[in-house]
Amino acid sequence: MNNGGINRILITYFFKKWVKETIKEIVEEVFTFYVFKKMMVGIIGVIISLSFLAWGFIAVVRWYDFKSNCADYLELAGDAPTVEKADEFLGHAPQYMERRGHTNGSAALILPFPSTNVGIWYEEIKGAKEATA
């Protein structure tokens, strides 16, 4: 063989070797990016799921706190057999609202309406308490 043929064989051999190594590196990078992307999607999914669970837990705890310390007493006041009992039950709701700072503002998540105005409800409950006293 002449020198040009050997050079061509060597060039072909090294070119093929370089192409294989390059393709292997590209595949590894793509696979690494794919795995990283999947891992990040999983991590973000876990974070979002835990956030919703925490939000739900806090919402249930706050609902129970409000129900047991305010709403149940208002219901008892409405069902009370005497005015004295109604006055006693109505005393709990304004105290709870003042203690928690629920004397003004809105309970609406998006658009405020008069029915979601906490200040109006607070004043109505205080007015009912004064009317039964």
By 3-state DSSP, what share of the chain in percent is helix, strand and coil, each rounded to 5? 85, 0, 15
pLDDT for residue 75:
93
Chain mean position to CA 32: 31
| Tens digit of each residue's pLDDT, the chain (133 residues) | 556 666 677 778 788 888 888 888 888 888 888 888 888 888 999 999 999 999 999 999 999 999 999 999 999 999 999 999 999 999 999 999 999 988 888 888 788 888 888 888 899 999 988 888 7
Q: Compute the distance between CA of residue 107 and CA of residue 118 in angstroms, rounded to an integer.
A: 6
pLDDT for residue 64:
94
Question: By C-alpha distance, which of 97, 100, 99 is closest to 120?
Answer: 97
Do 130 and 83 meet the contact criterion of CB atoms below 8 Å apart? Answer: no
Do 91 and 80 meet the contact criterion of CB atoms below 8 Å apart? Answer: no
pLDDT for residue 68:
92
pLDDT for residue 65:
92
